[in-house]
Amino acid sequence: MGEKVYGYHAIEEALKKAGMGSTLYVQRQGGERLDTLVRSAKLTGKVAVKKLSKDELERMMPGIDVRGAILDLGGPRRGASRLMETSVEEFCASLKEGEGALVIILDGITDPHNLGAILRSADQFGVDLAMIPERRSVQANETVVKVSSGAAQYVNIAVVTNLTREIKVLKDNGFWIYGADMAGENSYSVSFPARTAFVMGSEGSGISQLVRKNCDHIISIPMQGHIDSLNVSVAAGILLYEFRRNNH
């Protein structure tokens, strides 16, 4: 088996890109929603459909409530990924002179639900590239795709071995780097340039020291509540919105 996708909306989106060798496993007599997925799979002409009992389906992904359907994209996980993977160098080379772009850099995000929510916002606000470190970070796995409602499949993702080095590549290509931190400058007073990259730190310790040193500015989101911080996925969504509001 290869990369697996579960959750109605995530499967619905993944079917649009599924290739030969993919299989949709559905629970027998699962209802109209599952019948809709079966019809969509058959219309692709590429996705096989297999109906299983509830127990058989649950054994495919133990401990996960798959809600009656699993889409197996076929092949080894890495090779079969339907995520839009690229490199920072390739991304920068694809930009035209004077063309703006929005990048989000995720420094040590370990919760798949946070990553999924961030990628969902990234798709909605037109992020051109998401950078994820290869180590000490959750990768775009099945849970992430599910939480993002399939939106993760529409965001260019660069999995990198050295965030600091790739940040320098962005800087060399005209990007300004903004790190998010509670002690930073009020983001509402910042006019973001056409080529902007936001750095979002880990849920516990924030942005790593070395990455922080390579940021051009440290910014914060003004708050008035009793809790002194926002969930990283919520903060990411606010900053992405602020960029689009500034550059509409």
User: In this structure, which long-range contacts are made by residues 39-45, counting pairs with CB atoms below 8 Å and at least 24 apart in sequence?
Assistant: 40/12, 40/15, 41/15, 41/71, 44/15, 44/18
- Per-residue model confidence (pLDDT) at position 62: 86
Average confidence (pLDDT) over 133-161: 78
The total of other beta-carbon atoms located within 10 Å of residue 195's CB is: 20
Residue 175 has pLDDT above 90, yes or no: yes
User: Which pLDDT score is estimated for 47?
Assistant: 85
Predicted pLDDT of residue 228: 64
Is the pTM here over 0.95, yes or no?
no
Q: How many other C-beta atoms can be found within 10 angstroms of the C-beta atom of residue 227?
A: 7
Percent above pLDDT 90 for the chain:
34
Average pLDDT, the chain: 85
List of domains in the chain: 4-80 (3.30.1330.30), 84-246 (3.40.1280.10)
Instruction: Decide which of 134 and 243 is more confident.
Output: 243
pLDDT digits (tens, 9 = 90+) for 179-198: 998 888 888 888 999 999 99
| pLDDT, tens digit, 9 for 90 and up, residues 12-44 | 888 888 777 788 899 988 888 899 998 998 888
Going by the DSSP 8-state scheme, the letter that residue 100 receives in this structure is -
Q: Is the pLDDT of residue 83 over 70?
A: no
CA-CA-CA-CA torsion sign (150, 105, 229, 136): positive
Q: Which of 136, 134, 137, 135 is nearest to 160 (CA)?
A: 134
Q: How many CA atoms lie less than 13 Å away from 186 in the CB half-sphere?
A: 5
SS3 164: helix
Residue 113: predicted pLDDT: 87
Residues contacting residue 197 through CB under 8 Å, at least 6 positions apart: 102, 103, 104, 105, 167, 170, 175, 176, 177, 178
